[in-house]
Structure formats: C-alpha cells, structure tokens
C-alpha cells in the first residue's frame, strides 16, 4: 500500500526534525519546507496527501498559503492542519477564516496530532 | 397741597392762566403736577432699566468674551452672525472677517463633530463642535460651541497604542516560550515512546520526570496568558443559552476515570428543573474542571459531590469534597494569584496557583459569584453562581415594548397564546422531561416559521417565548386579522410537527389570540384575554 505523503512546513529546524521523525515512525512519507514560498511550490508540484502548516513562517505567512491553496481548484482537496505556538483564540479564528481543515496548538500532544491526521486522511475531502 | 387727583380726567373746560393774570381764580394744577411727577418717575424707571440692561448685557458679554470655548452663531442659511474671541483664535480669523461669511462646517443639531482648529499656543489641534438650535434676533439660528479636545485625543491615542503593545507582547511571549517547549516536549516523548530505541527503567523514570515538568511549564504558560487576557478584558466569551447540567455531565465523563484511579467517587446531584442560562460552555467547563481537579488533589479518600440547584435569580453549582479542608487563615487568600496550599497548610508546588484566580475572573465576567466554605480537616465546598435567563421578564418587556410602539404609531400589536388542553391528564402520561422537550421542539418549530411572507426572513420584532408550560408568540405591529392569519399558518405547522412525532392524537393544542388595543391595554390583561379566547377559537378554524 502506498505510504501517505505529508508536507511539514515550519521555520524552526528542531521542531521540523522532531515532528518529521514522529510522523515517519508512524509510517508516513515526509516532505519539508521552511518558508511560505517553498511550501506553496511543494504543494503545487508534489500534491501531498496532507499539509501540516505553521503560521509564522518567512516570505509568506501560513494563513496566506492556506488561503491560496483552498482557492486553487486543483489543490483545495488537500487537507491542511494549521499548527502554531500563537495565542489560541486568535489562531482559531484565523484558521477558520483561512479555510484550514483543522488546527492544533504547540506544544502539541503527539497522539492528538496523529489522530487528527488519521481522521483527515480517511474522511473524503469535504465538498 | 391736597390729595392727589385720582379721577384722571381733566375737565374739558380747564384752561391755564398766565402768571400775570391776577383774576380771582386759582386753577387747580394738582393734576398737572401729578402727571409731571408720574412722567419723571417713568423716566427715572426707564433710566434705571437702561442702566440695568446695559450692565446685564455687559456682564453676559463678558462671559461670552472670556469663555475659553469658542461660541459661534450661524443663521439658517449658514452665514456667521457672531463669533467670540475664543472662536476667533480657533478659526484663525477675526470676528469682522468671519461675520457675513459662510461658516463652512456641517451643522446638525445635537451632533458632535470634530474639526481642525488652531489652539491658543498657535499649534494645530482638534476641537469638538456641539451644535444646538437657538434664536438670534428672534430668528431661528445655530449655536455652535467649540471645545479644544486636543489633549484628550492625545491621551486616547496613547492608551490605544499601549493596549496594542500589550496584546502584541502577549502574542510574542506566547510564541517565543512555546516554540522551544515544543521541541523539548517532542524530543522527550519520542525517546519515551521507544521510537529512538529501547530504553531501560532508569532512563524511563528520568525522562518521565522531565516530561511531567515540561507539561507543567506548558500549563503555566497557558494559565499566565489566560489570566493576562482575562485581566485586561481581552478574553472573548462565546455566550450561548445552555443547560448547566450538560456541562456537569461532560466534566464527570472526563474526570471519572482519574477519580476511580485515586479511589474517589464522584457523586452527581443534579436539579432537573433548572432553566437555561447564558454562558460560555468552554470557559465554565474550565471552571468546573478546575474545582473538581482541586477537590481530587486535596481529598485522600471519600467523595466529591457536584450539586446543581436554583436560588432566586441564579443557578448554583457546588463542588464539595471530604478532603483536608482549608485553614481559616488561608480562606481569604485562596482565590489569589499563585496561591498554592496543601493539606498541611504549607505551600505546595506542582500546580500553577492560577486555577482559582482564573476561575474567579471567568465567573465574575459572567456576572456570577464564586466562594468557598470549608472546615479544616473535614472538607470544602466551592460554589459558583450564574445569572439565569429571565424568560418571564423578557416576555413582559417584549409585550410592553410592542404596546408602547403601537400606541405611539397608532398601530396594533397581537399576542398568540399556545397551551396544552387537559394538561393534568398529559402530566400523567408523560414525564416532565418529555413535556419540556416537546415544548422546546414546538418553540423551535414556531421560531423557524415566524416569517410573514414566503421566502422572507422573520422580523426581529416578532418573538416566541416558552414560559413554563405554554408558548407565547408576540407579533409587533400586527392587527388581529393578520394575527389570526399567522395563527392558522402556525397551527398547520405545529399540527404537522405533532403528527410527524405520532403525538397528534395524544396532544391537543389550545390557541388564543388577543390584540392591543382592541382586546386589552396592558400586558397582563392582554395575556388574560388571550387565555379567555383560547376556549372560544376552535382549533382548525382559519379566518
């Protein structure tokens, strides 16, 4: 069976490395990006099965990337989980506005993150 | 000389004689002298009045001239009629230059406008202009008052700036502290979960300690930021009408397994007749969880009881435990920030010390109260209240508002009353909860169908109220004929609902409709009349 491919976008190298390790051990194939521009290119070219997207990243913020992806006919089916260390309430609103499929706060609980990913990968994308 | 002539009229035949005339007649000049005196008196009065008037005018003129607020009179065509010295300064023109010119600023009565001015120190600034209607030389005119608010606006700007900095600081702090914490937490978790190879017992234990403290640090950051938001009123609450018992049941579900592990029982004593009230479910859940967690922390064996009940205008929730209680001396401190105690009364570490402080903020911002009763060695009871939705008061207010508007605009308003026929028989067959739940459904169905015409949204002024075991429909700006039309439409909708639920043969609905002013003039009478008419309008009859 094909491994599901997940793109992780985070400008903190440590967080990127540890999260990648966690998801790899769980059986996912991992792609990474450290800024908004690389993230969007990767989404467009690689069409991952899911994107884990940090909000505060260089070049273009995560919310803007999310909006662009959801406005793109060919890309909007890709589920996006926003994750950030930012203030919870503000992020929740931003996440909804940007059209993200889910949201998780840092520092996150690995089990919770894995559950959310699993759920979004098994449910067919909302129309 | 003689008494004053009071008859007033001069004899037509009176003639004056010259001084050389030594005839024997001495003409009575009393009248003339009196008249002269009267005229002199009048002249004196006039002189006094003139002086008084001039002094008055000078006094008032002084007030206007010395006023530091600008005063401008503008006629109804917009031409300046008068300006005081302050206005001259503000508008940077002399009175004689301004007189006869167009004022140029928008003039609307009882409105406050901000205009740019030149201040006394010759610097540019802002003034608040208030305009009222007045008379000038007996003609309607505008009186514009200009007040220099430049300093006040500067302070307002500074305050806004500080609030912005504070909230940015909060955001930055939360981000900067949480980011490294993420790596620490996940790094430890990966090793603990065996994903970097097997670990021995000692390694697991040490990492376990690290993990526990990372989690504690994360909670501390959350609590501090929570408290910061609450304290500066920046926390957004999501108020929704809800039943508190649902919240209690949810918290019970979350806490019951850890309670069992600690060999503690959680007992629920819930009042099922509680009305709904308006609160933020997440935040109240947070408060209740905090109280239960505290209870578990301080109770070695026994029970934790969560009770809900009603007291006059509020809903009461209490969490009581059979734990070690609180020393009298600590009672007043317990809701303070960073206050932590343990059973020996000594300062304890392990929590954040902010739980109760946050809970108190949340409850108080819900307009409720929270307090504790305790006996050292016996246990504690933490109670909080939430204000109840006063449906009866709200209904009365809506009916009265409708009546007021109708009487003001010379229109009508109507009230439809819906009750169960043979209610006592119904109570025997159905439980309180079933009846309540049916009524709530009926209320929802009626609300959804309250629009007046097809495809038009319902008017905000019409409302449905479920009160005890009846439903009131308030139709503002609606005469009886239209109300009866609405009634037959709603009746159809309700009958469909009942037959869908297979309740049509068990539940009979009574409909009553009363209008203001035709049927009654006051809210209570309107309700009473609607109830009387319930027995006369047979169900199913449309107008």
Which domain CATH number covers B96? 3.30.450.20
**Whether the Cβ atoms of residue B534 and residue B419 lie closer than 8 Å to each other:** yes
**Nearest CA-CA distance, residue B392 and chain A, Å:** 35
Residue B442 neighbours by CB distance under 10 Å: 22
User: Which residue in the block uniquely carries the two structure tokens 């929590």?
Assistant: B351
Number of H helices, E strands in chain B: 13, 16
Across the interface, whether the CB atoms of A110 and B214 are under 8 A apart is answered no
Torsions phi, psi for B78 (to 5 deg): 90, 10
Q: Do residues B73 and B170 both lie within one domain? A: no
Residues in A 43-62 with any Cβ partner in B closer than 8 A: 56
For residue B208, the model assigns a pLDDT of 93
> How wide is the angle at C-alpha B376 spanned by C-alphas B372 and B380, nearest 5°?
30
Q: Do residues B290 and B374 both lie within one domain? A: yes
Own/partner pairs, B325-331, CB within 8 angstroms, 24+ separation:
B325/B298, B325/B374, B325/B375, B325/B376, B325/B377, B325/B378, B325/B379, B325/B380, B326/B372, B326/B374, B326/B376, B326/B380, B327/B376, B328/B376, B331/B372, B331/B374
Residues of chain A in contact with residue B187, where contact means CB-CB under 8 angstroms, are 14, 18
Packing angle of the helix pair B391-409, B523-534 (nearest 10 deg): 100
Q: Does any domain span residue B86?
A: yes
Q: Does A127 touch chain B (CB under 8 A)?
A: no
Run of H or E residues at B469: none
For residue B432, the model assigns a pLDDT of 77
Across the interface, whether the CB atoms of B170 and A86 are under 8 A apart is answered no
Paired tokens of B66:
């010395």
CATH number of the domain encompassing residue B254: 3.30.565.10
Closest CA to A20 of A48, A61, A59, A60: A48
d(CA B443, CA B437): 10
Highest mean pLDDT among A32-41, A94-103, B277-286: A32-41
Q: Do residues B349 and B464 both lie within one domain? A: no
**The model's pTM:** 0.49
**pLDDT (tens place) for every residue of chain B, 543 residues total:** 444 444 555 554 445 555 565 555 667 788 888 888 999 999 999 999 999 999 999 999 899 999 999 999 999 888 999 999 999 999 888 777 888 888 888 888 777 888 888 998 889 999 999 999 899 999 999 999 999 999 999 998 888 888 778 777 777 887 888 989 999 999 999 999 999 999 999 999 999 999 998 998 888 888 888 877 777 666 667 777 778 998 999 999 989 888 888 889 999 999 888 877 788 888 999 999 999 999 998 888 889 999 999 887 789 999 999 988 888 888 888 888 877 776 665 555 556 788 899 999 899 888 889 999 998 888 999 999 998 876 777 778 778 878 888 888 888 888 999 988 888 888 888 887 788 778 878 887 887 777 655 445 555 557 788 787 888 888 888 888 888 888 888 888 888 888 887 888 888 888 999 888 888 888 888 888 888 888 755 555 444
Region class of B308: left (phi > 0), else alpha (psi between -120 and 50), else beta = beta
pLDDT digits (tens, 9 = 90+) for B369-393: 999 999 888 899 999 999 887 677 7
Across the interface, whether the CB atoms of A85 and B179 are under 8 A apart is answered yes
Residue B168's Cβ-count burial label (10 Å; 0-12, 13-18, 19+) is exposed
Paired tokens of B193:
């979960």
**Whether the Cβ atoms of residue B474 and residue B395 lie closer than 8 Å to each other:** yes
Q: Do residues B429 and B483 both lie within one domain? A: yes
DSSP chain A: -PPPEEEEE-S-HHHHHHHHHHHHHTT-EEEEESSHHHHHHHHHHH--SEEEEESS-SSS-HHHHHHHHHH-TTTTTS-EEEEESS-HHHHHHHHHHHT-SEEEESSPPHHHHHHHHHHHHHSPPP-
Closest CA to A120 of A50, A59, A71: A50
Residue A90 neighbours by CB distance under 10 Å: 16
Per DSSP, the three-state class of B338 is: coil
Structural domain harbouring B204: 153-231
d(CA A55, CA A84): 6
**Whether the Cβ atoms of residue B240 and residue B278 lie closer than 8 Å to each other:** yes
> How wide is the angle at C-alpha B475 spanned by C-alphas B472 and B481, nearest 5°?
110
CATH number of the domain encompassing residue B427: 3.30.70.270
**Nearest CA-CA distance, residue A122 and chain B, Å:** 24
Torsions phi, psi for A86 (to 5 deg): -70, 175
Q: Which residue of A has its CA nearest to B171?
A: A87
Paired tokens of B352:
């954040």
- Beta-bridge partners for B515: B414
Torsions phi, psi for A85 (to 5 deg): -90, 5
**Whether the Cβ atoms of residue B503 and residue B445 lie closer than 8 Å to each other:** no
Q: Does any domain span residue B17?
A: no
What are the structural domains of chain A? 5-122 (3.40.50.2300)
Considering only the beta carbons, identify the residue of A21, A87, A107 that sits closest to B182.
A107
- Picking from B166, B167, B168, B174 by the largest number of A CB atoms within 10 A of its own CB, the best residue to mutate is B174
Q: Structurally, how many domains does chain B consist of?
A: 5
Asked if the model's pLDDT at residue A1 lies above 60, the reply is no
| Strand ranges in B402-467 using DSSP code E only, listed in sequence order | 413-420, 463-467
d(CA B210, CA B227): 26
Across the interface, whether the CB atoms of B186 and A87 are under 8 A apart is answered no
Across the interface, whether the CB atoms of B178 and A15 are under 8 A apart is answered no
Q: How far is CA B417 from the centre of its chain?
A: 29
Confidence of residue A79 (pLDDT cuts 50, 70, 90): very high
Confidence of residue A23 (pLDDT cuts 50, 70, 90): very high
Q: Do residues B216 and B351 both lie within one domain? A: no
For residue B350, the model assigns a pLDDT of 59
Q: Does any domain span residue B192?
A: yes
Q: Do residues B77 and B60 both lie within one domain? A: no
For residue A126, the model assigns a pLDDT of 47
Torsions phi, psi for B502 (to 5 deg): 60, 35
For residue A5, the model assigns a pLDDT of 95
Across the interface, whether the CB atoms of A110 and B179 are under 8 A apart is answered no
Across the interface, whether the CB atoms of B178 and A107 are under 8 A apart is answered yes
Q: Do residues B254 and B378 both lie within one domain? A: yes
Across the interface, whether the CB atoms of A85 and B214 are under 8 A apart is answered no
For residue B505, the model assigns a pLDDT of 83
Contacts of B461 (CB under 8 A, 6+ apart): B402, B476, B477
Domain-ending residue, one of B203, B231, B259: B231
Measured CB to CB, residues of chain B less than 8 Å from chain A are: 170-171, 174-187, 189-190, 193, 195, 214, 218, 225, 229, 235-236
Tally of CA atoms within 13 A in the half-sphere of B158 that contains its CB: 6
Across the interface, whether the CB atoms of A85 and B182 are under 8 A apart is answered yes
d(CA B13, CA B303): 122
Q: Do residues B331 and B288 both lie within one domain? A: yes
Residues of chain A in contact with residue B184, where contact means CB-CB under 8 angstroms, are 107
Considering only the beta carbons, identify the residue of A15, A25, A87 that sits closest to B182.
A15
Q: Do residues B364 and B251 both lie within one domain? A: yes
d(CA A58, CA A81): 18
Q: Does A114 touch chain B (CB under 8 A)?
A: no
Q: Do residues B337 and B398 both lie within one domain? A: no
Residue B90's Cβ-count burial label (10 Å; 0-12, 13-18, 19+) is buried
- Picking from B186, B196, B223 by the largest number of A CB atoms within 10 A of its own CB, the best residue to mutate is B186
Across the interface, whether the CB atoms of A87 and B218 are under 8 A apart is answered no
**Whether the Cβ atoms of residue B112 and residue B130 lie closer than 8 Å to each other:** yes
Q: Do residues B40 and B77 both lie within one domain? A: no
**Nearest CA-CA distance, residue B293 and chain A, Å:** 20
Q: Does any domain span residue B452?
A: yes
Average pLDDT, chain A: 87
Q: Which residue of A has its CA nearest to B217?
A: A107
Domain-ending residue, one of B185, B207, B231: B231
User: Which residue in the block uniquely carries the two structure tokens 């007033």?
Assistant: B8
Paired tokens of B328:
């009298």
Q: Does any domain span residue B202?
A: yes
- Picking from B170, B182, B211, B215 by the largest number of A CB atoms within 10 A of its own CB, the best residue to mutate is B182
Contacts of B510 (CB under 8 A, 6+ apart): B418, B419, B420, B421, B534, B535, B539
Domain-ending residue, one of B357, B387, B417: B387
**Whether the Cβ atoms of residue B34 and residue B4 lie closer than 8 Å to each other:** yes
Q: Does any domain span residue B540?
A: no
d(CA B464, CA B478): 15
d(CA B331, CA B325): 10
Q: Does A27 touch chain B (CB under 8 A)?
A: no
User: Which residue in the block uniquely carries the two structure tokens 């008196």?
Assistant: B41
Count of pairs with CB atoms under 8 A, one residue in A, one in B: 62
Q: Does A24 touch chain B (CB under 8 A)?
A: no
Residues of chain A in contact with residue B225, where contact means CB-CB under 8 angstroms, are 87
Across the interface, whether the CB atoms of B190 and A15 are under 8 A apart is answered no
Q: Does any domain span residue B543?
A: no
- Picking from A23, A34, A104, A106 by the largest number of B CB atoms within 10 A of its own CB, the best residue to mutate is A106
Q: Does A19 touch chain B (CB under 8 A)?
A: yes
| Strand ranges in B137-263 using DSSP code E only, listed in sequence order | 139-148, 240-242
Q: Do residues B186 and B311 both lie within one domain? A: no
Q: Does any domain span residue B351?
A: yes
């Amino acid at each position: 069976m094909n491994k599901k491919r997940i793109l992780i976008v985070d400008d903190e190298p440590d967080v990127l490395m540890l999260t990648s390790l966690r998801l790899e051990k769980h059986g996912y194939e991992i792609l990474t990006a450290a800024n908004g521009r690389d993230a969007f290119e990767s989404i467009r070219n690689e069409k991952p099965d899911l994107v884990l997207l940090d909000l505060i990243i260089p070049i273009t913020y995560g919310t803007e990337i999310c909006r662009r992806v959801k406005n793109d006919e060919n890309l909007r089916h890709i589920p996006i989980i926003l994750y950030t260390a930012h203030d919870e309430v503000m992020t929740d609103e931003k996440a909804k506005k940007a059209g993200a499929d889910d949201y998780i706060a840092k520092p996150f609980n690995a089990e919770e993150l894995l559950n959310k990913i699993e759920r979004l990968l098994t449910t067919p994308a909302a129309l | 000389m003689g008494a004053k002539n009071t008859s007033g009229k001069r004899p037509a035949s009176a003639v004056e004689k010259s001084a050389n005339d030594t005839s024997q007649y001495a003409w009575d000049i009393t009248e003339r002298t009196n008249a002269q005196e009267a005229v002199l008196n009048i002249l004196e009065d006039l002189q006094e009045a003139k002086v008084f008037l001039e002094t008055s005018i000078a006094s008032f003129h002084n007030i206007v001239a010395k006023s530091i607020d600008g005063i401008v009179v503008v006629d109804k065509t917009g031409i300046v009629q008068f300006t005081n010295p302050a206005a001259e300064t503000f508008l940077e023109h002399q009175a004689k230059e301004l007189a006869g010119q167009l004022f140029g600023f928008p003039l609307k009565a009882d409105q406050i406008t901000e205009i740019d001015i030149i201040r006394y120190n010759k610097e540019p600034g802002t003034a608040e202009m208030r305009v009222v209607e007045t008379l000038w030389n007996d003609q309607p005119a505008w009186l514009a008052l200009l007040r220099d608010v430049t300093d006040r606006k500067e302070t307002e700007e500074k305050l806004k700036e500080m609030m912005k900095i504070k909230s940015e600081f909060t955001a930055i702090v939360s981000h900067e502290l949480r980011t490294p914490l993420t790596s620490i937490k996940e790094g430890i978790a990966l090793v603990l979960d065996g994903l970097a190879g097997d670990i021995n017992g000692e390694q697991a234990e040490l990492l376990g300690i690290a993990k526990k403290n990372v989690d504690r640090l994360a909670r501390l950051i959350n609590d501090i930021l929570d408290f910061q938001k609450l304290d500066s009123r920046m926390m957004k609450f999501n108020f929704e009408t809800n039943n508190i018992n649902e919240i209690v049941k949810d918290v019970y579900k979350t806490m019951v397994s850890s309670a069992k592990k600690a060999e503690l029982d959680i007992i629920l004593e819930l009042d099922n007749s509680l009305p709904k009230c308006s609160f933020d479910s997440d935040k109240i859940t947070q408060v209740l969880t905090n109280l239960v967690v505290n209870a578990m922390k301080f109770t070695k064996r026994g029970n934790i009881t969560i009770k809900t009940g009603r007291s006059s205008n509020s809903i009461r929730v209490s969490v009581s435990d059979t734990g070690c209680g609180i020393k009298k001396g600590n009672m007043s401190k317990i809701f303070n920030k960073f206050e932590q105690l343990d059973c020996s009364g000594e300062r304890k570490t392990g929590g954040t010390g902010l739980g109760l402080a946050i809970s108190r903020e949340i409850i108080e911002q819900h307009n409720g109260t929270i307090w504790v009763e305790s006996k050292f060695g016996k246990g504690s009871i933490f109670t909080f209240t939430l204000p109840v939705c006063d449906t009866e008061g709200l209904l009365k207010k809506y009916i009265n508002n409708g009546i007021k508007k109708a009487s003001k605009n010379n229109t009508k308003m109507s009230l439809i009353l819906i009750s169960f026929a043979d209610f006592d028989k119904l109570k025997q067959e159905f439980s309180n909860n079933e009846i309540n739940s049916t009524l709530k459904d009926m209320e929802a169905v009626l609300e959804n169908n309250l629009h007046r015409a097809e495809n038009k949204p319902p008017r905000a002024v019409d409302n449905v109220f479920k009160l005890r075991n009846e439903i009131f429909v308030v139709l503002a700006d609606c005469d009886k004929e239209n109300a009866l039309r609405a009634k037959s439409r709603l009746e159809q909708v309700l009958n469909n609902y009942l037959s869908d639920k297979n309740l049509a043969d068990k539940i009979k609905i009574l409909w009553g409709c009363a209008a203001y002013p035709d049927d009654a003039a006051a809210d209570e009478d309107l309700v009473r009349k609607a109830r009387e008419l319930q027995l006369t309008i047979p169900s199913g009859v449309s107008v």
